[in-house]
Structure 1
Amino acid sequence: MPRIAPVTPQDAGPLVRAGYWYAGRRFGEVPEPFAVVANHRKLFTVSARHEMAVQKASTVLPPNVRDIAVYRVACTVGCSWCVDFGAMMQRLEGLDVDRLQHIEDYATSPLYNDDERAAIAYADSMTETPTTATDEQVADLERRFGRDGVVELTYQIGLENMRSRMNSALGIHDQGFNSGDACRVPWGTVDREGKKT
């Protein structure tokens, strides 16, 4: 159970209920972080718009590079929810999720290519406090992905740091998305009007 109770559909306004309906249709279940952020309606709205806009705009990097860097951040920070959800997203994109078990050995594992290794190392550098990213590292990433690719990678890693740290601080844990049997948030599935189904 998270440290801040999720907002139930019965206690939510029409906009939040519509967001729950959309998220439930898209992911099979309402993501718990979504329901916890709903305690602050304005941030809920901004966050939902931001997530959709970032997803739509992030088209420069190959999905395997972007997603493995984001996944690494979730592992490093220790956000079980983000690890679970990130593995599901990779599975839905047709990426090899079995190799995620070997991410600690990314530097030498044949399961990761050189671009992925560079992205993971950069994710590690950005996630350290203070950050340890170097000029050489960014120059190497620019050669691999272009300037827009480096900006996209940096943005995605920074955003995942925010998500993972926020979820961890609020006590939000894995929901079972990667298993395909997502645990329901306390109220179950809801329809467009916010009625329990």
Structure 2
Amino acid sequence: MPRIAPLAPSEAGPLVRLAYRVMGRRFGSVPEPFAVVAHHRKLFVASSVQELAAEKASTVLPAAVREIAVYRVAWTVGCSWCVDFGSMLMRLDGLDIDRLQHIEDYRTSALYSDDERAAIDYADAMTATPTEVTDEQVADLERRFGKAGVVELTYQIALENQRARTYSALGIVDQGFSTDSCRVPWADPQADPAPSGPAS
């Protein structure tokens, strides 16, 4: 269980219950981070809008480049929920998820392209504290992806740092999305993805 218990549908207002239903239908289960953030309705709305807008706007980079950089951040920070959910999204996008087992050896693995290696290096430099990004690194990325591509990559890496650090701090762990075995504390596997209350 996370450090703050998810907000059960029976305790949520109409807007949050509707969001639970939509997310449950889309992903097969309500993502636990959303159910925890739902305790703060305004931030729940803000984060949901941000996620949806970022998803719709991020179309400049090749999906494989963007997603491997995001995955690297989750892996580096140690957010098991983000690793789990990100693996599912990559699988649904038709990307190769078997190579994720070799993310530690990306510099030498033939499973990663030069563009992907550059994106992973940038993710590492941005995720370091303090950041270690160089002028040369950004110039190289601009040659590869253009100005808009660099902005998109930077935004997505920063967004994943926010997610991974938030979820890790709140004790939210993997939920089984990558194995199609999802759960939320109140869910009955045979029930609607957004049941009316916690299980007894």
TM-score, with structure 2 as normaliser: 0.95
Displacement after TM superposition at 1:195 (Å): 2.4
Instruction: Give ranges in structure 2 of 5+ residues lacking alignment.
Output: none
Displacement after TM superposition at 1:127 (Å): 0.2
Structure 1 pair 11–65 and aligned structure 2 pair: CA distance change class (3 A) = same
- Distance across 1 between alignment mates of 2:18 and 2:192: 9
- Distance across 2 between alignment mates of 1:192 and 1:176: 15
Structure 1 pair 85–143 and aligned structure 2 pair: CA distance change class (3 A) = same
Number of residue pairs the alignment of both structures matches: 196
Q: Is the 8 A contact 2:187 2:195 kept in 1?
A: no
Q: Secondary structure at the match of 1:165?
A: helix
Structure 1 pair 140–52 and aligned structure 2 pair: CA distance change class (3 A) = same
Structure 1 pair 192–113 and aligned structure 2 pair: CA distance change class (3 A) = closer
Q: Which amino acid aligns with 1:156?
A: Q
Aligned to 2:185: 186
Q: Which amino acid aligns with 1:110?
A: A
- The residue correspondences of 1:64-75 to structure 2 (distance < 5 A) are 64-75=64-75
Q: Which amino acid aligns with 2:186?
A: W
TM-score, with structure 1 as normaliser: 0.96
Q: Which runs of 4+ in 1 moved over 2 A?
A: 189-197
Q: Is the 8 A contact 2:34 2:44 kept in 1?
A: yes
- Distance across 1 between alignment mates of 2:194 and 2:112: 45
Structure 1 pair 186–193 and aligned structure 2 pair: CA distance change class (3 A) = closer
Instruction: State the percentage of identical aligned residues.
Output: 70
Q: Is the 8 A contact 1:17 1:194 kept in 2?
A: no
Q: Is the 8 A contact 1:17 1:192 kept in 2?
A: no
Across the aligned residues of Structure 1 and Structure 2, the Cα RMSD in angstroms comes to: 1.4
Displacement after TM superposition at 1:193 (Å): 7.8
Displacement after TM superposition at 1:37 (Å): 0.2
